[in-house]
Amino acid sequence: MNAKQRYGLKKFLRELGQVKGRHTELVSVYVPAGYDLNKIINHLQQEQGTAANIKDARTRKNVIDSLERAIRHLRLYDKTPQHGVAVFAGNASDNESKIDIKVWSIEPPEPLNSRLYRCDQTFVLDILRDMMETKECFGLIVMDRREGTIGFLRGTRIDALHHLTSGVPGKTRAGGQSSQRFARLREGAAKEFYKRIAEVAQEKFLGNQDLKGIIIGGPGPTKEEFLLYLNQELKNKVIGVKDITYTDESGLHELVDKSQDLLAKEEIMEEKKILGEFFTKLVKEPDKVTYGKKEVDKALEIGAVDKLLISESLDELEIERLQEKAEALGTEVVIISTETREGVQLRDFGGLVAILRYSLS
């Protein structure tokens, strides 16, 4: 799921989360991918018959009407969408004296695996909320003989999990020690440190079903030496070893930057690539980009914007306005997270920039 899809789902969930039923009258229906829509419709028709037994007249009417709206909506589909569909229906009125039965639906960005029907005071949204969490991840290890940092890359987010420092002596030996003995001490301490990093990596990574691979980085030959201390299962997960300078938390970011060839299809690289395009043009072809609300709006009006980059940190209504305006003009819209360093740059840049089709000067 990219940032734009995640933003759309987040907005949908926020809207439905605000709807509260006075009784168990809000209808939630989940149709999994590949499931027969006719079976779901027949089930809902049976539930209409059951709802006729509800004692409270207003609740009875709301449930029956909500089920009818859900059934009508499902009949609009020729077949179940590729990822399934979730339909919600109920009284959305805040006014006690008025009834406003509405229906909402979403074809989720990931396949639905659960079939569900429920009538409650709130809509059942946990299945969709779970999709907001990026599950697939990459393990990251950066290290040298002084320190090591272990982390995860999930979607666009880099999380540092554990930082270790070594007891490896410096290169200057203490008085009275032979150079050979000192070298042996340093080598032994380094091996012990590699073992400690490997143990932490095993604790963090082993058994993680969502782990797509492990990337290791560090200066010089230390990373290759360290590989010997990983158990075979983790070795099999290693997809790349990269030369990097830093071995603290900033080293995790450097490692991801240096792993574009390994992560080319991942969301974080898509964001980095398009933001890199903007910042490169800003330096080399400043007339081919624009930024700031007034300037971007003007460029949109005349159809000059090729790609509109919007930070998710902007106000929701402003994002919606810009999306509608851009898409009506055939402009590509990219919602950018604030979890990457480039995303933070965009936010600090005002959260709104455009790559132009042609120069405006």
Nearest CA to 19 out of 124, 106, 127, 131 is that of 124
Lowest mean pLDDT among 59-73, 177-191, 269-283, 328-342: 177-191
- Between 253 and 341, the more confident residue is 253
* Res 257: pLDDT: 94
- Between 171 and 69, the more confident residue is 69
Residues forming beta bridges with residue 119, ordered by sequence position = 27
Q: Report the share of the chain in percent with pLDDT over 90.
A: 76
* Res 326: pLDDT: 93
Residue 294 pLDDT > 90: yes
* Helix axis angle, 57-74 to 37-51, nearest 10°: 170
Going from the C-alpha of 17 to that of each of 14, 65, 227, the distances in angstroms are 5, 20, 48
Looking at residues 310-337, what average pLDDT do you find?
92
Q: Match 């997960």 to its residue by tokens.
A: 237
**Domains of the chain by start residue, with CATH:** 9-132 (3.30.960.10), 137-264 (3.30.420.60), 268-356 (3.30.1330.30)
Confidence tier at 4 by pLDDT (50, 70, 90): confident
Looking at residues 15-23, what average pLDDT do you find?
92
Confidence tier at 22 by pLDDT (50, 70, 90): confident
pTM of whole model > 0.85?
A: no
Q: Each residue of 180-215: pLDDT tens digit? A: 776 777 787 889 999 999 999 999 999 999 999 999
Q: Match 């159809």 to its residue by tokens.
A: 303
Cα(155)–Cα(207) distance, rounded to whole angstroms?
20
Q: Each residue of 160-176: pLDDT tens digit? A: 999 999 876 666 555 55
Q: What percent of the residues of the chain are helix, what percent strand, and what percent coil, each to the nearest 5?
A: 40, 25, 35
Residues forming beta bridges with residue 349, ordered by sequence position = none
Residue 76 pLDDT > 60: yes
| Token pair listed for 142 | 């950066």
